[in-house]
Amino acid sequence: MSIAAAYTLKHQHTDFVVKEVSRPPVEQPGDYAYAVLEKRGVTTLEALRLIAEHLGIQESDVSAAGLKDEDGITRQTVSLRAETMRPFWIDLGPEKWLRLSAPIGQYDRPLEKGALLGNDFWLVIRNLSEEAAESIWNRGGSRGQFRQYVVNYFDRQRFGVPGSNYRTADVGAALLEGDTRRAAAVLHHDTAVAMSRGGLVPGEQARFVQDVNAGMDCRTAFRAISSRLRLFFVGSALSRDWNLQTAQSVAATGHPLRLYGDEHPLAGCLGLAGPQALASLPAGIALKEPVALPSEDGVGITMRETWRATVTATKVFLIDRGPDEHFPGRHALRVFFNLPSGSYATSAVHQMVTATTAASQDPGRAAAGTT
């Protein structure tokens, strides 16, 4: 069954506000300063590069516990050596900036991935029909809140930059096969296309294209890209594999509710129709994560195997609703919720709106993953 879920998310940066919930180390104070990074219109990877560039330090000396995308206003903790730390603000152009706070503490180790507990989200869901806004609002009852279960898919931010055609998973898949030339060719093509269209192009990719266009060998230019970004490409390919494996488990329940049209990068991923189907899924599916790249081509990438829950739950708090000033004749809904580390708010919202739309169109059909 396919349901058209009409809404708009991230219409403006203030519609998508994210605050990281992290756990500082309990060890003795040391040489690493922790500070708050606030940003708008910039990815975390690009922000870390800009911090290093501004402070005149190596990019590897700046650490974050998680990645936040550029379409919103985000707040997260970063770490760097205390002697290099100083607060600053950078204006990067229209609706793009980043700010690094004064130190909030000093510890004996840099931030690590395990320090991220989750994220708080304050979102405005726009361009809803009055019926859809009312259906979601009514789910909150007298307490203005409800529990939502969602399939824990990686969302499209993991596979490219919104508004562009970056095929990060294809770049990563080529690296996993040891084919650096193909990885470089895909990245060069997609980045060049985005640049020609005036799209958002992170600095490293732009320099890569400029180097290749200036005559540098494609593989040589690719190796100049930071290992952090190349590891992101590999992780993107492994995340796509996890999504497809999870989608197969969802389809096997016999109760699929299609979430995306054929043109969407996640067209192969399915939602669910009813909490009983959610309960029949495996609790989690193994996920490989890249840890280190060799100095040369991508052969011999060091991996570690982790476990990712197939279903996650959140409590959605309804803040307010009303006519949408940006979309005449439509309605907007403001919500708050928290998700554990690694879960995507965009996927949670899409499944919530799609499930509620399905239930309103077919009253005999329970909203997927709701209680």
Query: How many angstroms separate the Cα of 6 from the Cα of each of 15, 45, 73, 349, 366?
Result: 17, 31, 24, 12, 19
Q: How far apart are CA 370 and CA 333, in angstroms?
A: 18
Residue among 295, 247, 291 at smallest CA distance from 271: 247
Residue among 133, 137, 147 at smallest CA distance from 370: 147
Main-chain dihedrals φ then ψ at residue 355, nearest 5 degrees:
-65, -40
Furthest CA-CA distance within the chain: 65
Q: Is 69 a catalytic residue?
A: yes
Q: How far apart are CA 62 and CA 78, in angstroms?
A: 7
- Contacts of 201 by beta carbon, 8 Å cutoff, 6+ apart: 164, 191, 194, 195
Is 303 exposed, middle or buried, given 0-12, 13-18 or 19+ CB atoms closer than 10 A?
A: middle
Q: How far apart are CA 195 and CA 343, in angstroms?
A: 30
User: Which tokens hold the place of 312?
Assistant: 């996650």
Residue where the block lists tokens 């009253």: 363
Active-site pick, 15, 69, 155, 324: 69
Other C-beta atoms closer than 10 Å to the C-beta of 135 total 18
| Rama region for 46: left / alpha / beta (φ>0; ψ in -120 to 50; rest) | alpha
- Determine what percent of the chain falls in helix, strand and coil, rounding each to the nearest 5: 35, 30, 35
Q: How far apart are CA 90 and CA 51, in angstroms?
A: 9
Q: How far apart are CA 91 and CA 99, in angstroms?
A: 9
Residue where the block lists tokens 């991996």: 303
Q: How far apart are CA 288 and CA 238, in angstroms?
A: 6
Main-chain dihedrals φ then ψ at residue 102, nearest 5 degrees:
-65, 160
Active site amino acids = 69
